[in-house]
Amino acid sequence: KSIKYAVASAFLLPFASKSADILLNIFAPCAYEEFDRVLKDDGFLIKAVPLSEHLWELKKSIYNEPYKNKPEIKNDKLFVMTDSKELKYNITLKSSEDIYNLFTMTPYYYKTSKEDLEKLLKLETLTTTVHFAIEIYKKVGKLNVRK
C-alpha cells in the first residue's frame, strides 16, 4: 500500500536525490547519470531491453531493408550488472487491429512512412519474434567506484 508510481522523462525524474530503492526502465532510453542521482547507494536498476531479433518479422513485413537491434552501450562506471535473463519466443497476432496496436507501442510508429504503414495495415495475421533481456544492475556507489 505504500508503493508509489510515476511516469516521467528518464532524463529528468521527478524524485529527490537518493530517494529510490529500485528503478524500472522498460524499453526506454537510459539516463544513467539521472538514475545514479535518484537511486540510493545500495539501489538497483532493472531494465527490459530489446535484443537483436525483437519484432523481426514485424519489421520485415513493413520495411524494404529492416535492421536488427544493436546492443545497448552500458555504463559500467555507475552500475554493475548482477543478473540477466534472455527471453525469446513467438507471438501470433490474429487481427489487423492487434498488429496495429503492437506497432503503435514501438518507436517505429513515429518513424514509418505512409507507404510502409500501408503494408502493415494490409496484414490480417502476423507471427513475430519477441526477443529481449531483463537486466538487473546494482548502483556502484561512491565507495566502490572503479578507476
| Each residue's pLDDT tens digit, 64-111 | 999 998 887 777 789 999 999 999 999 999 999 999 999 999 999 999
pTM listed for this prediction: 0.83
Kindly give, in sequence order, each residue whose CB lies less than 8 Å from that of residue 77, ignoring residues fewer than 6 positions away: 140, 145, 146
Lookup: cell for 146: 572503479
